[in-house]
Amino acid sequence: MDFREWLKQEKTYYHVTLADRVPSIRQKGLIPSDDPHWGGDLGATSINKVYTAKAPSHAIYYGLLKFRDTFLNNEWWAPAPILLKTRQEISSGTIDRGDKRSVWFEKIIPPNQIEVWWTNRGWLPLASATWIDEDIHYRLGDEGYEDWEGELIGEKLEDVLEDARKMLTPRA
């Protein structure tokens, strides 16, 4: 297989979003962002692009940073981070930064090309994950940090981040 044929092959990419954004993504897909939520070079170069990672761990890393910041800025409440997966081919409108970690798309990734990871169900078509919305969240309760079902997670924000990381990490 030559390089051009390799480029045309679909590859798997990952993206982490917050649960309150999933209903919109389910309707419209992943849309290039005009507010990338990052400062510096990363923020400046990611305007009007959809960030994806080549490995779940890289998407989870950035997703947990955003989740933590949202938690701290929302008075100790934040929608849960959600891992998405898509298969796309490298084409025009695709930027591979060459860092072996990320690829940006300058196009909408349609909802029918997106799957969602849910711990006890595995990978599912995004359209079937209708329970994921703003009600899927973590919060600081009277006795400590809780998940959306009221289950006590722990006493520290680090406990919440670890619980979210475990929830996001696909099992083989």
**pLDDT exceeds cutoff 70 at 38:** no
The reported pLDDT for the residue numbered 35 is 74
What would the pLDDT profile of 127-155 be if each residue is shown by its tens digit?
999 999 999 999 999 999 999 999 999 99
Dist. CA 85–CA 54, nearest whole Å: 10
What's the mean pLDDT in 31-60?
A: 80
**pLDDT exceeds cutoff 80 at 86:** yes
Determine which helix (DSSP H) or strand (DSSP E) holds 61, and give its type and residue range.
Answer: helix 56-73
**pLDDT exceeds cutoff 80 at 5:** no
Q: How many residues does the chain have?
A: 172
Q: Cα-flanking dihedrals φ and ψ of residue 95, to 5°?
A: -120, 110
Helix (H, G, I), strand (E, B) or coil at 87: strand
Mean pLDDT score of the chain, rounded to an integer? 87
One DSSP character per residue, 40-55 reads: HHHHHHTTTBEEEESS
The reported pLDDT for the residue numbered 11 is 87
